[in-house]
Chain A
Amino acid sequence: MISQILNIAWKEFLQIRRDRFLIIFLILAPTLQLILISHNTARGLSDIAVAALDQDQTALSHEFIQELDATQEMVVRFWPQTHQQLRDLLDSDKVQVGIVIPAGFERRFNSPMEAPAQIQALVDGSNILVGGNGDPVISGVLGRLIAWHVQEPPGLDVGGVQVYSRALFNPSYNIQWFIIPSTLAFITYQVALVLAATGFVREKETGTLEQLMITPIRRLELIIGKSIPPILLSVLNFLLLMAVQTWGYHIPIRGDFIQLLLLAILAIIAIVGLGTVISILTQNQQQAVLLVFLIAILEVTISGYMLPVENMPWLMRGFAQISALQHFMTASLAIIFRGADFSMILPQILALLAIIFSASVIAWRAFNRYIA
């Protein structure tokens, strides 16, 4: 039993070693994908061009603009004199954010007897990243101004309440912290799925599977033996990506790394199981790859990678429960950011075990049918 499994696994390794394209795919593609996605998403949020129309022209309004310019996210590039000029800058896409500081800003800011000071921010809503993140930046700068300038007014009890929100688990609200570990899980998933999905079907194409079927090797030995290389390679791939994440992007792992690794191995086994089912059910590698593509599209939507599972309609939430990627992503983010341990991600672990079990049964049964 063991020697047969190792024999199959060894043969697979020999074949993979000779496949230069596959090796490049395994090392280069995942790393490149992680770096490109992380880098580009990060760039989208820094140095947003801003135009400031300052109708107040006071010390406070100048200070506000300077502070805005000093943030990492925004750079004040233009100082238009009229609303029309501001409008033109926005229309021609020279700036993505326009700020209007109306006359009387400083006066109102300092006087409790007048209507509150106002600032108008025009943001480019067609770019969801600018739209969604421009607002908090401006509010943050305003918050700081308020904190510096407003002393507790004598005789006026405003309760001394100071409201500020703090991003839990991601103190600087860095979008990379969300994007990178999620992307990492997704890439790990893709690599494991493709590797496993092409395994059996390749032997079906070359006819070697038929050759194997008339040898004394058992189906279970064949399934396990052929799964070992994709699992090991996917784990190595995961470690490589983790190194990039930890040392390249300085994202700390709050939880236990060993537990994270065990979780990854469990998830990879589940994904390889799914890939093996695909590989057994399809007739050629093209079908297998197209099916992987289709499933990847589905999983990327239901896994929480693009939108939170909690926000999905109930049917989609149901599908999310059978997605190995969803469980892997949820649990790995929990370990990395919240420092969760196994007891806290037990539901995900049980779900992954259930997926492994179902995939094994389906693979075994589907395999039987091919022979009959």
Chain B
Amino acid sequence: MMEAIVTQKLRRQFRKTVAVKDISFSIKQGDIFGLIGPDGAGKTTTLRMLAGVLKPTSGQAHVLGEDVVRNPEALRDKVGYMPQHFSLYGDLSVLENLQFFAEIYSTPRAKRADRIARLLRFAQLEQFADRPAAKLSGGMKKKLGLACALIHNPRLLLLDEPTNGVDPVSRREFWDILSELHLQGVTILITTPYMDEAERCNQVGLMFRGELIEQGEPEALRQLAPGEMLALYTPELARTEAILPELPGYIAHQVYGDRLHIFVADAAATKPRLTAFLQARGIPVQALYVDEPRLEEAFIHLIRQARTETQP
């Protein structure tokens, strides 16, 4: 059994809105799979169906070999699920939350104390064991949520935007924990709005308007950016944007703060031409260099493409 998750034409409709549109994909055991996409793309709905808390309208999904529609109960012991919003008991302490979930998963009493201690250490929450969960910082809450989702040693973790709204340091710590779990062979399906997190996954899927429009290794997806990329810093962004399409070899561009990412057929050849092109029009160039497209550029391109395709 190599596939942790397999879906076939999985679909979910809420009245007339199709949240997830017949998606078929699979995730290998031991992968960290990052599901990314803009808000409302259907990531959470997909995750909830895979967790067995939401019935699909049609289609099939097998998680760890179990049919999520016919036999969601069989998943309970094997899957750890962390919903998007912090869903532990704020008025219970860190320790009480862990004890409650340990009891729910019928952790043998002999092993319970040991496992809770290990998870507290793992989540770096040892000195906060008696603090009410509601009084934890955002990052600590997420780590407690993860610890609770891990209490039964699940083979698959479903994490719905676990680092949303968490400071960069806590995010890094959270990912260190995930990396360790990954090394232990736990399969992880995580949704995230952060591209740097997507880069840390070994498989990435891009969802848009309920469809999985691309799936692959981050390296491969990066190549989907159109052509090669030039990074340009100039104080006159608006004027530059307006005249760029006149540039020979121009494909597309994206704005990032004070810089422009310009996609062209041949970056090395275009670079001197672009300098001349801008200077001829009186636009100062502060910096201009050939750069590797990141996942972000690839995704923005893919989403733009999908948008123009769906518009009549």
Contact = CB atoms under 8 A, between A and B. Distances in A.
Interface of A: 3-4, 7, 11, 14-15, 18-19, 206-208, 210-217, 371-372
B88 A211 contact: yes
A211 B103 contact: no
A7 B100 contact: yes
B87 A206 contact: yes
A19 B83 contact: no
Contacts of B55: 371-372
Contact of B104 (A18, A19, A207, A217): A217
A15 B87 contact: no
A43 B47 CA distance: 64
Contacts of B130: none
Contacts of A15: 89, 91-92
A208 B55 CA distance: 19
Contacts of B87: 206-208, 210-211
A223 to B, nearest CB: 15
Contacts of B106: 3, 216
A216 B73 contact: yes
A212 B103 CA distance: 12
- Chain A: interface secondary structure? helix
B96 A14 contact: yes
A7 B103 contact: yes
B83 A7 contact: no
Contacts of B220: none
B250 interface: no
Contacts of B51: 214
Contacts of A19: 91
A207 B103 contact: no
Contacts of A371: 53, 55
Contacts of B73: 216
B81 A214 contact: yes
Given A206-B87, A210-B48, 4 more contacts: A11-B100, A15-B89, A214-B52, A215-B101
A11 B52 CA distance: 24
B77 A207 contact: no
A371 B68 CA distance: 13
Nearest to B151: A215
A195 B11 CA distance: 39
Interface string B116-152: 0000000000000000100000000000000010000
A210 B53 contact: yes
B4 interface: no
Nearest to A216: B76
B83 A3 contact: no
Contact of B83 (A18, A207, A372): A207
The 4 closest A-B pairs by CB, nearest first: A207-B87, A216-B76, A7-B103, A211-B87
B86 interface: yes
Nearest to A221: B104
Nearest to A3: B103
A18 B77 CA distance: 31
A14 B95 CA distance: 12
B25 interface: no
Contacts of B92: 11, 14-15, 18
A207 B161 CA distance: 15
Given A214-B52, A216-B104, A207 B81 contact: no
Nearest to A11: B100
A11 B101 CA distance: 10
Contacts of A372: 55
Interface in B267-295: none
B10 to A, nearest CB: 16
Contacts of B70: none
B83 A211 contact: yes
14 contacts: A3-B103, A4-B104, A11-B89, A11-B100, A14-B91, A15-B89, A15-B92, A206-B87, A211-B81, A214-B52, A215-B101, A215-B105, A217-B104, A372-B55
B49 to A, nearest CB: 12
A210 B103 contact: no
B81 A216 contact: no
Nearest to A218: B73
B86 A207 contact: yes
Given A15-B91, A15-B92, A216-B76, A207 B52 contact: no
A19 B90 CA distance: 11
Contacts of A212: 104
A18 B55 CA distance: 36
B79 interface: yes
A196 B55 CA distance: 28
Contacts of A18: 91-92, 132
B85 interface: yes
A15 B134 CA distance: 12
B100 A214 contact: no
A210 B83 contact: yes
A216 to B, nearest CB: 4
